[in-house]
Structure 1
Amino acid sequence: MNNPIQLDAHYFVLPQVLPADLATLKSQGFERIINNRPERESDDQPDGESLRIEADRLGLEYVSNPIDLSALSQANVQSQAGALKESKKTLAFCRTGTRSSVLWVLLENAKGAKFTDLEVYVTGKGFDLSRCLPAMTPLLVP
């Protein structure tokens, strides 16, 4: 498992996590795990239910908000926002971390941050949003 990439005080991103990674994340102070990866996206991916069971066993909040960029919607963004209502140290993940970063950018943009500033910030953290722009553009606040 790589080191979580911090986007703000409570929101961190990683590529795919495994059930065995959750104990380490718990020891790092994470309280909530958000799975932004659709089920069966690849053969090497653990199923969400095994992640949920292990999260429950460890006392971690587990949220499933699967994102398909070709169908990204305001409902996906609102679901992520709803999961984040309570300030808790949160780890969001998907295959590479990009979709979880996209959601953070959209949430921050909705709060008034400029998209160009957010894009530069997230790119500096290692996430290239260029392939995501067609899905993000209709959801951006000018």
Structure 2
Amino acid sequence: MSSLVQLDEFYFVSPQIVREDLASLKAQGFEKIINNRPDGESDDQPSGESIRVAVEMLGMKYVSNPIELPKLSQTHVDVQSDALVEGEKTLSFCRTGTRSSVLWVLMKNAQGERYQELVSQVSGKGFDLSRCSAAMEPLAKT
């Protein structure tokens, strides 16, 4: 399984997961999986539907919120935010974990946290958000 990066107490991000990862994620206490990756980005990518079925068979919750950075909108941020429940351990994934991190920054920023501090925090975890800034800045609250 790909490495998990913890951004806050209950929100983790990772690169693409596969069905075989899900039992381990369940054993680690994850209750919800959020898929931020559109289907068909690469030939080796499992479909969102196959992940959803496997997630639900294990009794976890699944949310589909696929984003492409050039089309990032407030609706994407709102869907991600609405999917999060206080105290529910959640894994959000995409191809590398960057888009899932972008959404976390924008969610926390909308809740009143400072945009630049959030970007720095995520950068410190290994995600270079500089290539995402053009998509993020129109949604950032300063």
Determine if the alignment matches structure 1 residue 34 to structure 2 residue 28.
no
Match of 1:53 in 2: 53
Structure 1 unmatched ranges of 5 or more: none
Contact 2:6–2:13 (8 Å) recurs in 1: yes
CA distance in 2, matches of 1:61, 1:85: 11
CA RMSD of aligned residues (A): 0.8
Structure 2 unmatched ranges of 5 or more: none
CA distance in 2, matches of 1:72, 1:3: 25
Match of 1:65 in 2: 65
Identical pairs, percent: 61
Moved over 3 A (4+): none
Match of 1:99 in 2: 99
Give 1:98's aligned amino acid. Answer: T
Q: CA deviation at 1:87?
A: 3.1
Counting matched residue pairs gives: 142
Match of 1:83 in 2: 83
Give 2:116's aligned amino acid. Answer: T
Say which SS state the counterpart of residue 80 (structure 2) adopts: helix
Say which SS state the counterpart of residue 63 (structure 1) adopts: strand
Match of 2:136 in 1: 136
Say which SS state the counterpart of residue 96 (structure 2) adopts: coil
Match of 1:13 in 2: 13
Say which SS state the counterpart of residue 51 (structure 2) adopts: helix
TM-score after normalising by structure 1:
0.98
TM-score after normalising by structure 2:
0.98
Q: CA deviation at 1:3?
A: 2.9
Q: CA deviation at 1:138?
A: 0.4
